[in-house]
Amino acid sequence: MPYIDALNRSIDVDGTSFAYRDLGPRGGVPLVLLNHWGAVLDNFDPRIVDGLSRRHRIIAIDYRGIGASGGTAPVTIDAMARDAIALIHALGFEKVDLLGFSLGGFVAQDIVLKAPGLVRRLILTGTGPAGGKGIDDVGAVSWPLMAKGLLTLRDPKTYLAFTSTANGRQAAKAFLERLKERKADRDKGPTPSASCGS
């Protein structure tokens, strides 16, 4: 089943409903996807998820207070990691692989520190370590690019994740089109408070 057709699911974790999608072959160690700041299930690139799900069981999640997940978005990586660990346990997994993109990479690293026995493999993309060079500049770099997206009526991901070259603009356009492929049962978009809180 392609990612754009994967069922929206939810599971209660300590009184909070967490939204997720589950696809790919059963058996083996599942790969849990941890997304970027303010992202929902429909912000995972379906081509990447489909490629990964050919060989791995994929669990894509919404953080607390983001998309269809209940509760209020946490304001710390610590809280997001604790939520993810509780969610993984609630799904019945004793061992997982993690793929963390951007903010998801911060969360994934904290999960490994908090529950090293839970994680078999760690894949970090577009992220860095706490205190790493330039990490404290993320907000100063990101906010102007998000404002540019609003002013130009373009999705901020155009500026945040792609180069300002002809190839970069073409890749951004193709990526943003892929994010619109799912027509039915789309996840709820992030609210401004959730986007700022996470």
Q: Angle between the 103-114 and 77-90 helix axes, to the nearest 10 degrees? A: 70
Over residues 145-152, the mean pLDDT reads: 80
- Domains delineated in the chain: 3-130+162-193 (3.40.50.1820)
Which helix (H) or strand (E) element contains residue 149? helix 138-152
- Euclidean distance between CA atoms 66 and 189, whole angstroms: 8
The residue with greater pLDDT, 69 or 153, is 69
> For residue 19, what pLDDT is reported?
98
How many whole angstroms separate alpha carbon 79 and alpha carbon 99? 18
Structure tokens at 166: 């002809």
127-131 mean pLDDT: 80
**Among 12-26, 49-63, 65-79, 124-138, where is mean pLDDT lowest?**
124-138
* pLDDT, averaged across the chain: 91
Confidence of residue 155 (pLDDT cuts 50, 70, 90): confident
Residue 197's pLDDT band (boundaries 50, 70, 90)?
A: very low
Report whether 181 contacts 46 (CB < 8 A).
Answer: yes
Rounded average pLDDT over 16-29: 96
Higher pLDDT, 130 or 68: 68
Q: How far out from the chain centre does Cα 149 lie?
A: 20
pLDDT band at 191 (very low <50, low <70, confident <90, very high): low
Closest CA to 38 of 66, 13, 7, 58: 66
Give per-residue pLDDT as tens, 48-100: 999 999 999 999 999 999 999 999 999 999 999 999 999 999 999 999 999 99
Q: What is the pTM of this model?
A: 0.89
Cβ atoms < 10 Å from Cβ of 48:
17
Sheet holding 58-61, edge to edge: 9-13, 16-23, 58-61, 31-34, 96-101, 119-125
On the question of pLDDT at 198 being above 50, the answer is no
